[in-house]
Amino acid sequence: MLTQRMTKEALTYYILKDEKTKQSLLNTIKIFDTTLVALKDGGKAPFDLAWEKIVILPTAPEEVKIQLEKVKQLWDTFYSNMNKFIETDDKEALDYILKNNIPLLSEMNIGVTLFQKESEKKVSLMKNLQLSFFIISILIGLYAFYILKKSLSL
């Protein structure tokens, strides 16, 4: 989503040339860059677009990290074209941004899907542990009831 936002802001800035749009674009670029590094390597990342809440992310699992490396390679070129466009109003840089927004978005979406699968594995493990503890608790309760009943009947 941030790549789409950046592209929209770049186009808006290209048309309007206003400082507010430029600052918003620079902020969006910084958020994407910071978040990508934090998702891949772990570390601090903004939780919102205003940088009001910062979260600390763990290092990505290996399969996800490999995908995020692909995203990072695409991002590095995209990022340099964004900077070139902002600094020089270069039409070729803008064309690059427009042509490579979707590929960058698609690769990042693959990374998000991999993160989701990792999360689903953890949720499944938690559910299985809860079920196991519940069954063990029931068995212990039944055993305690049996012992109590037996001791009261003596």
Q: Is 138 exposed, middle or buried (0-12, 13-18, 19+ CB in 10 A)?
A: exposed
What is residue 153's predicted lDDT score, i.e. its pLDDT? 78
What is residue 120's predicted lDDT score, i.e. its pLDDT? 95
Confidence band, pLDDT 50/70/90 cuts, at residue 26: very high
Amino acid at 107: E
Scanning the structure block, which residue is given the tokens 């840089």?
Answer: 93
pLDDT digits over 90-113, tens only? Answer: 999 999 999 999 999 999 999 999
Kindly list the domain boundaries of the chain, sorted by start residue: 2-121
Confidence band, pLDDT 50/70/90 cuts, at residue 136: very high
Helix (H) or strand (E) holding 45: strand 43-46
pLDDT digits over 33-72, tens only? Answer: 999 999 999 999 999 999 999 999 999 999 999 999 999 9
